[in-house]
Homo-oligomer: A and B are copies of this chain.
Amino acid sequence: MVSIRDVASRANVSIGTVSKYLNTPHRVAPDTKKRIGKAIKDLGYMRNEAARQLRAGESKTLAFVALELNNPFFGDVADAMERRAAQNGLFLFIVSSNGSPEREGQYIEMFAQQRVYGVILASGMTRQRELDLLFTRRIPTVLVDAYGKTDRFSSTSVDDFLGAERAVTHLIEQGCRSIAFIGGEVQIHQIAERLRGARAAVDAHSGVRLTIIPTVERSVRAGLAAGEHLLSKGRQDLPDGIFAANDSLAIGIMQAISAGSDIRIPEDIAVVGYDDIDFAASAAVPLSTVRRPREVFGRSAVDLVRDQAESAEPLPVRSIVIQPELIVRQSSRRT
């Protein structure tokens, strides 16, 4: 493997000069510059990033830990972050925790070991252990959608409690009295918030019941399975309103219902999802949902990290909270 040393000797200069060429080229004489450039090309030299990092101690790599990538919502957010990162001269590494806190922990540890530029956490299930790690190491960290979870990190989030409350209140206004919350994995912070909001809405109206149906994943497939499970019950046990933890789930459930029964949406069961992914509007029955702005989300998370990283002294914690918007479509419109 060819190193800076080889380049130096081939160009008849010292190692220091080659390094200068690499980092502050304007401080190298034109003639020398040419020689070094040629040597690099001839040898096919490529800087060893590990060595650079070790010595310089800084990195331009921003890490984004997503909960799962099969949800298009995260894909869109990731793409938005990538654009913003590029504008700031940063690189964005995305990892998927695939729903496992242990795995996420491994990744965070690796990022800490790499001394990355910063970390954006959107898994909603980061363990205290890793949060402590990031905090004590002073690694610029931003939490996505963990509103109120911590006073140590900056965050961007949508007020999921409010969003869920609005969604369920809407269902109740449409006449629903038995509401099922699907996707109740309370490990995940966002989901827990949505459940809390749903319950608040239900509690505010007498005569309304809330049932919780957990799922393993939050994919279309999981929604299908949940829907089929639901249908296997007696007709009288069915809810008349469904609030799903995200759109993928909702779409899966609606598909199961329309394929496996003559139950009508929204007349017999009204459905509301969460996120407003692009596929929500084009579902068999266009899906009512709670919109979370993806572009803003991604952009502001990157900005928050950058501000922290570029600032000399520690910045005060900042929390950006975005209001969610209820989008009513056919799947819940009864009037």
A contact set with B: CB distance below 8 Å: 44, 46-54, 68-72, 74-76, 78-79, 82-83, 86, 91-96, 98, 103, 106-107, 109-110, 112-115, 133, 136-137, 219-221, 248, 251-252, 254-255, 278-279, 281-286
Decide if A221 touches B251 in the complex (CB within 8 Å).
no
Task: Give Cα A252–Cα B86 distance, bound, in whole angstroms.
Answer: 28
Q: Which residues of B contact A86 (CB under 8 A)?
A: 98, 103
B94–A95 CB distance below 8 A: yes
Nearest residue, chain B, Cβ from A103: B86
Contact of A283 (CB < 8 Å), options: B68, B79, B248, B283: B283
What is the CA–CA distance of A283 and B44 in the complex, to the nearest angstrom? 51
Q: How far is the CA of A13 from the CA of B113 in the complex (A)?
A: 23
Q: If the complex has contacts A48-B115, A49-B113, A113-B46, are A278 and B219 also in contact, measured as CB distance less than 8 A?
A: yes
The answer to whether residues A93 and B96 also contact, given A49-B113, A113-B46, A282-B254 and a CB cut-off of 8 A, is: no
A50 near B279: Cβ-Cβ < 8 Å: no
Give every chain B residue within 8 A of A47 (Cβ-Cβ). 113
Specify how many copies of this chain sit in the oligomer.
2
- A45 CB to nearest B CB, Å: 11
Question: Closest 7 A-B residue pairs measured CB to CB?
Answer: A220-B278, A49-B113, A50-B53, A69-B75, A255-B282, A94-B94, A50-B54
Contact yes or no, A69 B94, CB < 8 A: yes
- Measured between beta carbons, the chain B residues less than 8 angstroms from A137 are 46
Write the nearest CB–CB distance from A248 to chain B, whole angstroms. Answer: 7
- Tell me whether A94 and B96 are in contact in the complex, defined as CB-CB below 8 angstroms, given that A48-B113, A75-B72, A219-B278 are known contacts: yes
A136 CA / B255 CA spacing, docked (Å)? 50
Q: In the bound complex, do residue A279 and residue B220 qualify as a contact, i.e. CB atoms below 8 Å apart?
A: yes
A333 to chain B, nearest CB (A): 16
Residues of chain B with a CB closer than 8 A to A220's CB: 278-279, 282
Known contacts A44-B136, A72-B75, A76-B70; A252/B282 CB under 8 A: yes
Q: For the complex, give the distance between the alpha carbons of A65 and B294 in Å.
A: 22
CB neighbours of A115 from chain B (8 A): 48-50
Contacts of A114 in B (CB 8 A): 49-50
